[in-house]
Chains A and B, each alone.
Chain A
Amino acid sequence: MDFLRPASWEEALAAKAEHPTAVPIAGGTDVMVEINFDHRRPEYLMDLTRIGDLYEWEVGQDTVRLGASVPYASIMEHLRTELPGLALASHTVASPQIRNRGGVGGNLGTASPAGDAHPALLAAGAEVEVESVRGSRRIPVDDFYTGVKRNALAPDELIRAVHIDKADGPQQYSKVGTRNAMVIAVCAFGLALHPVTRTVRTGVGSAAPTPVRAEAAEDFLNAALEEGGFWDNGKTITPSVAKQFADLCAAACNPIDDVRGTASYRRHAVGVMARRTLTWTWESYRGARRTTEGAA
């Protein structure tokens, strides 16, 4: 095994072009487990922790450009307002030790259906900035996950940053596991209200071969909210609408039975989380609306 230690992003791209099999390592929270257990013996291990740019973030007008290696601990601490869904998801990642090392770039690189960041990224709306010596491109996160632990990266590409839409409304994240820390999701659910576009977006984790959006559920809910004038009148969402939304979210799952849970449990739990996160976010939207109107 060779240990590559690029000092800059350009050097990293050149090294990846020369050695497409090189495995990038930043926080190491996935890669080192595989090496420790002898599940993987990469020919080249490429350390990205010297590249400072990957640890930086910029808050722009509409999006946050989050460097691939920004640790979850920093997201929780600094980006709770701009990226509430991702901050909540970050807080459910493993333990403080892991959150100090791991970041969203690694979650995307591994592309496990159980990765904690994915449902939040799908719900918020995000693009993955990837680059190789051939050039840079942005992949919508919806198109990024291509299979179980597979993603849209070409062999010579590296993940540089994620551009995540800043929250324009309440966001929530929910995860099912056996305890509060050190848990790989049995399943997870992210939901974001987008009052500006009057849409709702979802993200479902660990309940299909890849992280997915429950698009039929979103379409149904968008139509129901529009029809009932909910965005304007700020009424409580009718239980029948919430139930139908939950059922459609459960139907979007294509889960398996495994050691963490059965397929039918996952479907059920996703439905429960969908209903709860919808209620939480909608109540929060109504509260904010009342405050704004009261002030006006």
Chain B
Amino acid sequence: MRVHFTVNGRPQQADDVWEGESLLYVLRERLGLPGSKNACEQGECGSCTVRLDGVPVCSCLVAAGQAEGREVVTVEGLADHARQRARATGDGSSGTSLDEAKGWQAHGADSRTGEGAELSPVQQAFIDAGAVQCGFCTPGLLVAADEMLERNPSPSDADIREALSGNLCRCTGYEKIMDAVRLAAARQSEGV
């Protein structure tokens, strides 16, 4: 079947989609957006987290056909999403094209500092706080953390833990991730 939906602000369509296929598979294999990670395929790890009509969900548990007509934001579109939010006004040229999204990487001047790359504040905070080790869980954590900061600009530690409780990380022990989200929240409140 064919599925039409909006991905990172741009209309997309995927063809030859099998009816039992997950949104995650469509994003990764049909649209070439491998930022959302495929690990547990049962909603346990959160590494496939995307926004579906604004709401964080495990894309491995959304049937592709359920995404028809809906809006999806993946980690590849997070920088643009955060920019749009900051502007709070759409200028009509918003969104991230598939090519841009596919080509997205934290290259810029230095992939370790994020300098020169276009990053959302939460992505920059993850780099600055050293919250990324192997990086596999990072996209899901970024999407979940960004959504929480959108809803709750000054979260308590308990709020952060709750918001990220569906995202597993096996490297960091979570402390650096907590640091990163606190940092992003602090910068957000200072308007940096």
* Residues of A that sit less than 8 Å from B by CB: 1-3, 5, 25, 27-29, 31-33, 35-37, 41-42, 45, 47, 49, 94-98, 100-101, 180-182
Contact = CB atoms under 8 A, between A and B. Distances in A.
Most chain B CB within a 10 A radius of its CB, from A31, A45, A95: A95
6 nearest CB pairs, A to B: A95-B166, A181-B165, A3-B19, A1-B19, A36-B41, A32-B61
B63 A41 contact: no
A30 B41 CA distance: 11
A47 B166 contact: no
Interface stretch (B43-51, B102-110, B125-133): B43-51
Contact of A28 (B63, B163, B167): B63
A143 B56 CA distance: 35
Contacts of B62: 28, 32, 101
Contact of A1 (B18, B56, B68, B168): B18
Contacts of B44: 182
Contacts of A100: 55-57
B19 A2 contact: yes
Contact of B162 (A36, A42, A96): A96
Most chain A CB within a 10 A radius of its CB, from B56, B60, B61, B144: B61
B22 A32 contact: yes
Most chain A CB within a 10 A radius of its CB, from B20, B65, B68, B167: B20
B192 interface: no
B43 A98 contact: yes
Contacts, number: 88
Interface residues of B, number: 29
B56 A97 contact: yes
Contacts of A95: 43, 46, 165-167
B57 A97 contact: yes
13 contacts: A25-B63, A28-B63, A29-B61, A31-B63, A33-B41, A35-B20, A35-B63, A45-B19, A95-B46, A96-B162, A97-B43, A97-B49, A101-B61
A49 B68 CA distance: 11
A154 to B, nearest CB: 24
Contacts of A31: 63
A276 B106 CA distance: 52
Contact of B65 (A3, A36, A181): A3
Contacts of A36: 22, 41-42, 60
A42 B18 CA distance: 13
SS class of chain A's interface: helix, strand, loop or mixed? loop
B58 interface: yes
Given A37-B41, A41-B20, A96 B163 contact: yes
B19 A101 contact: no
Most chain B CB within a 10 A radius of its CB, from A2, A32, A97: A97
B46 to A, nearest CB: 6
Contacts of A49: 66
B65 A5 contact: yes
Interface in B139-192: 144, 162-163, 165-168
B1 interface: yes
A181 B65 CA distance: 29
Nearest to B59: A97
A3 B1 contact: yes
Contact of A101 (B18, B42, B57, B65): B57
Contact of A98 (B20, B22, B58): B58
A98 to B, nearest CB: 5
Nearest to B70: A49
Nearest to B166: A95
A1 B61 CA distance: 17
